[in-house]
Structure formats: structure tokens, C-alpha cells
Chains A and B, each alone.
Chain A
């Protein structure tokens, strides 16, 4: 081959390598950026008067007098809407039945959208579910409702070869010449006065309980559940893992049995996470019956088994990294082997062991599959520490799945889902980063 061609191939080869690293960094960005920006919207958003009312009523936070004043103000702006609705109701009464039917379904839709937007309208029955007791709490939702109010969505099926296309027609056309016609223009121009949006920092998203299956409120129950599960897992896995690592590094002889044990360790590391879930269900719940059904305890035990190989490996590496001279110095002073391990080797290896433990903690906090059958429930209140032996708990990871895939209003509560994902990722990445920093400090120390 020509030398020039060889050089071009060489450069391209380098380029491919660098590109692949760049692509990985890009993949990370592409995943993280939308999640972070979406997640922050759960905390920072334009909140309406409805949001402030909700927070005051449910969590008792907020300035009562200011709220009353704003309520008065928004009520003032809403009055013409209600008046127009009343006028149209009267108009409907006077219509022919056929004509009335024609308007009825359209009108009902208008009322529904207004209900979503402003909360219960005069004349509605007092709703039972919290989600129907308040209007749009977030301004961007209110804007969506407004669009829904102003336009009728229609589908264009004219071209049979492509998927039907969406288009919109003004809803006001349907009500031309009735008492309702001016309502659309009025709502469009007065939406802000009716809802009084202002920037909110809703820190309660982290610390509040959820209301009406996460339609409103925060995610404290999930955060607490995740904390219980992950800490519980470490409580079991950490001591076991460190002792096993001591055995492997200090006592195990190089024989068949040891290699079998090591093989078992790597097998355990490779078991798919959902199989841990199956095992937890079949063993901890159905066989040993650590609890009647799902419980934090069963989930923690399952997670503990899952992270055990990681902890053993990290601890082994940390112990092996302790310089041999430490060992010899201690033994040379007449210390027993066990004493040497406890007083010299473990303290020296501790930062490394902790690093591994932190990473495992993150992994336990982030896993979903093992806790589906053993510990997680979709909707639940926070549980006390005493309940962990018997009660299941909501957890971040599980509820991200649940809210995104199975919630009846999954599309309306995207901000909650994003907020949960961001919380989970923050917890896991913060843990990982502290582990990375810790490791960097250790390697600096070892270098001297």
C-alpha cells in the first residue's frame, strides 16, 4: 500500500477513536441535558393562583392575606366568564331540542376545559378528587388549556398514503352569534388576570407528600423509600462484603475451592437484575416469608445480594493496594495476623472500601427491577422506620416507571416524572462523584 494511503488510514483510525469518545460524551449530554432542564421545571416554574391556594390549603404554607387579595383579584377577572356561561345556559334553554343537542357536546367541552383551567365552575358539583378541585397550577398547563379552548383539533385524512395530519380551527366559529362567542376572546386576553402567574420556587417538591397520585404535591415518600432501600441493602451487604474480601485477599489459598468461590462471585455479578427480583419473590417472600408480602426488608435483602459482588471486588482491590511493607512491619512487631488486618490493613484500605460502598449505594438506589416484586408500591404514604419490616414503600426508580408508563394522566404530570428522574440521577451521580473524588484523593496520598 502507498505510504500516503497508510498515513490517511492512520489518521482516520485516530479520528474514529476520538469520535467514539466524543460520541459517548455526547450521548451522556443528550440524556442528561433534557432530564436536567425538564427536572428543574418541577422546582422552578410559573405558578398560578391555583398553585398558591393548593399549597396553602394542603401544606399550610403561604401568606394568607396576600392570597385572599389575589383570590379576590382573580375572581374579579373570572366573573365575566361565569356571566357569559350563565347567559349561554339561558340561551340553550330557549333553543329547539335539535339545535340544543348540536351545541351541547361542544359546550360541554368548553366547560371541561374551563374547569381544568380555573377549577370548579359555578353550578358544578363539588368534586371529590383533589385534581378536580383546582384549576391549572402551572402557567404552561394553563396555556395548553387555553389553546384547547380556542381551537378545535381536526384530522386530515385526505391523503390515504400518509398518516393523518392534525390541524386546528377556531372554536369560536362553532358558537358564532351566541352569547358564548365573546368568551373566547375574553379568556384569551384575560387569562393572566384570571390566574395571576408568578415565578415560583417550589422546594416542597422534594419534601412534600404527594397529593392525588402525584397530580399535585411532592415526592418525599419516594425519596425516603429509596433511602431506606439503599441503606438497608448496604447494612447487609457492606459487612458481608468486607469480610469476604478479607478472606479472599488474606486467607484464601490458591486452590480449586477458592477459584470456585471467585467464579460464583462473578456469576452473581452477571445475573440479570430482574432475576434477582424473581429470586427475592420466590425466596424471601414466598419461602422464608420475611414479610407477608412486599416489604422494605425483602427489597433491601434482594438489593444487598445484587450489590454484594461489587462491594467484594472493590474491597479486595482496596486491600490489595495496601503496601506490603505495612503488613510486614506489623507482623514484625509481633502482632497476630488478625490484629494486623484489623489495626493496620483495614484502616489503610478504608477509603478505597468506602469508595466501592458509595458506588454500590448509588447502584442500589437506582435499581428498579429487583424491587418491583419485593418492595415497591406505586402509591403510598411515607412509612416510619418501624414499618420497614412489614410495609412496602414507594421508591423513586419504581415510580418513575409507574408515572411515565402506567399513570392515567401520564402526559399531564411530565414535570413530576422529570423531577423524579432528576432527583434520582442527582442522588446517584452525586454519590458517584464523591466516590471519584475520594479515589483521586487516595491515589494522591498513595503517590505521597
Chain B
């Protein structure tokens, strides 16, 4: 692809070459770039192909069975002679573990991202980053194995005490904080900086503390009394999935927090804000859209995960009773695809085969939309922060 060849062009001048040569050069350049473009657009072609081929095998299902049954029925008996293909419970199971893992991973992940970007000194941060990278690198099947072989028996045998201690350790400190803040808010007047001890506040604090302690104890004991019937349940899966969603949430949120410049932080500190106030009132609002994108990506990771849910969710396709019972077994879309294809793929024409592609299509559409949304959000944040 060499464009100039010294010595050969003397006829036309030092760097003015003949028209013919120039045309050839341009043509070659064009062809080369075209080739590069073709390879680069391979990814787009792959995306189109994925949509096409998954949809191609999904559509026959809806032609055979319509939409109503798939989305509204909870009867999933694909192996029967006519077969029943109600996926509602399965979709619900996917939603349940996704929400469950988000409830754990989002607060933890955002707090960790804040800690990484604003609290920890650089020297410590260097050691925290590989931890997150390792969490992300562990293969999903290893998490699944952990969930099934180690965590599930633990949850089954000691579920009650585990939940009780988790509640006390997590809710306890927050209760104390709530008592302090509440007592403060109820006694301090507008704009008044108080100093010294305030009898009213002390009395209120003690009163609130007693209520809070009673509440903590009562909930803890109720949790302790719960008997976990099976360790392979939605709670187990949610916790493990949250481990897997965490790295995504942390790293994308951290990027977005870093994108909020030093200037804003300094502006807030200079007005006498504490670090917490600076972050909560200035940095987080400015980074909120990026964090939202992080949450969406993290949730997608949990929703699209296969091995953990397949191994440790119990794979029972029913809506738990009551609907929020996380200690019940559930079944998800991904696990159903993975688990049922083994029996279905011999019979390519059957509804049993195509229904799995319908589920895949559902996941695909959902991930596509989430991706678009999170991309738009990030672009918008960049625009807002650059002041446009």
C-alpha cells in the first residue's frame, strides 16, 4: 500500500505525481478503507444475524400457540403431548431474582464506587480495584457451584440465624443513625446551630432508641424463627447474582463519579459542606444519569445470567406464595432455555423447541432496549456536565 516511491516520480516533479498514479493511489486507499470498514461492520452484521436467527426460530412458536398463553399462563408442561407453554411464572422468576440482586448490588455498588472515587486514598484504591476485577473474572459456573454446593446447604440449615444476624448487622447501625438524625431534626430550629447538651434531645433519643431496639429485636427474632425449606431458592440466587452484578455497577458508576470534575467538589467544600453532603447533594445528582446507566447494565448482567440460576434456583416453575417469598424455589428464562434445549433440540419443528427461542428473543429485546437506554443516558450526562 505504499503510496510514494522515491525516484520514480521525478518525471512529474518532486511530489506532483501523474494523474494516473494518483488515481491508482486513491483507488487503493479507498479499497483498503473499504476492507477495514467491512471488517469493522462485521459486529453490526453479527448483531443483525443474532436478531434474525433468534427471531426466525421464535416466530413459529407464536404462530403455533399465539401470545396469550405464553404471557399470561403459569402452566409450564412442555413435555406433555399437546404441551402447555405458560411462561408467566418463569418471566416472574427472572424478574424476581433480577430485582432481588439489584436490591443488594445497587446500594452496595454505588457506595463502593463513591468510596473508590472520593474516600479512599490512591494507595488503597490500587488494592481495591483488583478485588473488583477478580469478582468480575470468576466464571459464572464457579459462582453457580458455590451457590449450589456451599451456600445452599448453609442457607437451608442456618437460614434463620443467618438472616437474623444480617438484619442486625445491617439495620442496627442505620437505626442508630436514624435515631440521632430524628432527634436532631425534631429539636433543632431553622438555621440555628446548637451546642451543648439539650435535655429534650437526650430524652427523645432515649425514647427513639428503645423503640428502635424493640423493632430490631422483634424483626430479628421473627427472621430467626423462619425455617428455610430449601437452600436452592430465589434469595440464594439473588445474593450470588449481586456478586456478579457488583463489578459492573461499581466500575461504571465510578467512571461517572470521576467524570464529575474536581471543581464542583471544591465549590461545595468551600461553602462548608462535609464530604457526605458534597457527595449526596452535588456529586451524586450530577452523576445520577451515569449511575442509572450503571444500574441498568448491572441488572442486565443479572437478568442474562444462566449458570447460577440454573444450578441454584431450584428450577420450579411457579410463582412463589406469597409473591414476595424469596425463600421459595423459582425458575428463570435463561435456566429454562439452558435446561430444556437438551430435550427439545432433537425436534426442531416443535413448539417445545421454538418456545425456547421465544424466551431468547424476549431476553434479547430486553437487553437491546436497556443498552440503548443506558447509552443515551451516558451521552446526555456528558452533555449536561459539559454545560450544553
* Closest B residue to A425 using CB positions: B142
The reply to whether the CB of A445 lies closer than 8 angstroms to some CB of chain B is no
Contacts of B112 in A (CB 8 A): 17, 20-21, 24
Contacts of A397 in B (CB 8 A): 139, 141, 307
The reply to whether the CB of B36 lies closer than 8 angstroms to some CB of chain A is yes
Give the CA-CA distance A383 to B3 in the complex, in Å.
Answer: 48
Give the CA-CA distance A344 to B357 in the complex, in Å.
Answer: 47
B368 touches A336 (CB 8 A): no
Per DSSP, chain A at the interface is helix
Give the CA-CA distance A18 to B124 in the complex, in Å.
Answer: 11
Contacts of B325 in A (CB 8 A): none
The reply to whether the CB of A83 lies closer than 8 angstroms to some CB of chain B is no
Choose one: B53, B305, B371; the contact of A283 (CB below 8 Å).
Answer: B53
A24 touches B108 (CB 8 A): yes
B144 touches A401 (CB 8 A): yes
**B320 smallest CB distance to A (angstroms):** 19
The reply to whether the CB of B363 lies closer than 8 angstroms to some CB of chain A is yes
Annotate A16-29 by CB proximity to B: 1 below 8 A, 0 otherwise. Answer: 11111101110110
Question: How many A-B contacts at CB < 8 Å in the complex?
Answer: 289
Instruction: Select the stretch in B39-47, B66-74, B213-221 that faces chain A.
Output: B39-47
**A289 smallest CB distance to B (angstroms):** 13
Contacts of B375 in A (CB 8 A): 263, 266
Choose one: A23, A163, A363; the contact of B227 (CB below 8 Å).
Answer: A163
A34 touches B146 (CB 8 A): yes
**A256 smallest CB distance to B (angstroms):** 13
Known A240-B39, A405-B148: A264·B47 in contact at CB below 8 Å: yes
Annotate A98-123 by CB proximity to B: 1 below 8 A, 0 otherwise. Answer: 00000000000000000000000000
The reply to whether the CB of A446 lies closer than 8 angstroms to some CB of chain B is no
Say which size band chain A's interface belongs to: 35 or more
Annotate A382-395 by CB proximity to B: 1 below 8 A, 0 otherwise. Answer: 00000000000000
**B130 smallest CB distance to A (angstroms):** 6
Give the CA-CA distance A366 to B141 in the complex, in Å.
Answer: 8
Q: Using a CB-CB cutoff of 8 Å, which residues 1-60 of chain B contact chain A?
A: 1-4, 32-33, 36-37, 39-44, 46-47, 49-50, 53-54, 56-57
Instruction: Select the stretch in A1-9, A62-70, A171-179 that faces chain B.
Output: A1-9
Known A31-B146, A243-B40, A272-B334: A432·B134 in contact at CB below 8 Å: yes
Contacts of B54 in A (CB 8 A): 275, 278-279, 282
* Closest A residue to B42 using CB positions: A240
Give the CA-CA distance A240 to B307 in the complex, in Å.
Answer: 28
Known A282-B57, A362-B137, A401-B311: A268·B144 in contact at CB below 8 Å: no
Contacts of B82 in A (CB 8 A): none
The reply to whether the CB of B135 lies closer than 8 angstroms to some CB of chain A is yes
B46 touches A424 (CB 8 A): no
The reply to whether the CB of A244 lies closer than 8 angstroms to some CB of chain B is yes
Contacts of B61 in A (CB 8 A): none
Q: Using a CB-CB cutoff of 8 Å, which residues 254-298 of chain A contact chain B?
A: 260-261, 263-279, 281-283, 286-287
A400 touches B145 (CB 8 A): yes
Give the CA-CA distance A149 to B36 in the complex, in Å.
Answer: 71
The reply to whether the CB of A91 lies closer than 8 angstroms to some CB of chain B is no
B43 touches A268 (CB 8 A): yes
Give the CA-CA distance A152 to B264 in the complex, in Å.
Answer: 72
Q: Using a CB-CB cutoff of 8 Å, which residues 230-268 of chain A contact chain B?
A: 240, 243-244, 246-248, 251-252, 260-261, 263-268
Annotate B119-131 by CB proximity to A: 1 below 8 A, 0 otherwise. Answer: 1100000001011
Instruction: Select the stretch in B84-92, B177-185, B380-388 that faces chain A.
Output: B177-185
Contacts of B115 in A (CB 8 A): 14, 17-18, 20-21
Known A20-B111, A279-B54: A14·B119 in contact at CB below 8 Å: yes
The reply to whether the CB of A42 lies closer than 8 angstroms to some CB of chain B is no
Q: Using a CB-CB cutoff of 8 Å, which residues 131-174 of chain A contact chain B?
A: 162-163
**A277 smallest CB distance to B (angstroms):** 7
Choose one: B36, B341, B368; the contact of A267 (CB below 8 Å).
Answer: B368
Give the CA-CA distance A401 to B139 in the complex, in Å.
Answer: 12
Choose one: B56, B141, B334; the contact of A274 (CB below 8 Å).
Answer: B334
**B186 smallest CB distance to A (angstroms):** 11
**A93 smallest CB distance to B (angstroms):** 45
**A284 smallest CB distance to B (angstroms):** 10
**A310 smallest CB distance to B (angstroms):** 11
Give the CA-CA distance A275 to B144 in the complex, in Å.
Answer: 18
B33 touches A251 (CB 8 A): yes
The reply to whether the CB of B102 lies closer than 8 angstroms to some CB of chain A is no
Give the CA-CA distance A414 to B145 in the complex, in Å.
Answer: 10
Cβ contacts A to B, 5 pairs, < 8 Å: A5-B181, A10-B277, A35-B146, A274-B306, A278-B360
Which A residues contact B (CB, under 8 angstroms)?
1-3, 5-10, 12-21, 23-25, 27-28, 31-32, 34-35, 162-163, 240, 243-244, 246-248, 251-252, 260-261, 263-279, 281-283, 286-287, 305, 308-309, 312, 334, 336, 338-339, 359, 362-363, 365-369, 372-373, 397-398, 400-401, 404-405, 414, 417-418, 421, 424-425, 428-429, 432-433, 436
Which B residues contact A (CB, under 8 angstroms)?
1-4, 32-33, 36-37, 39-44, 46-47, 49-50, 53-54, 56-57, 107-109, 111-112, 114-116, 118-120, 128, 130-135, 137-146, 148-150, 173, 177, 180-181, 184-185, 188, 193-194, 227, 229, 243, 246, 250, 274-277, 279-280, 297, 300, 303-307, 310-311, 334, 337-338, 341, 345, 348, 356-357, 360, 363-364, 367-368, 370-372, 375
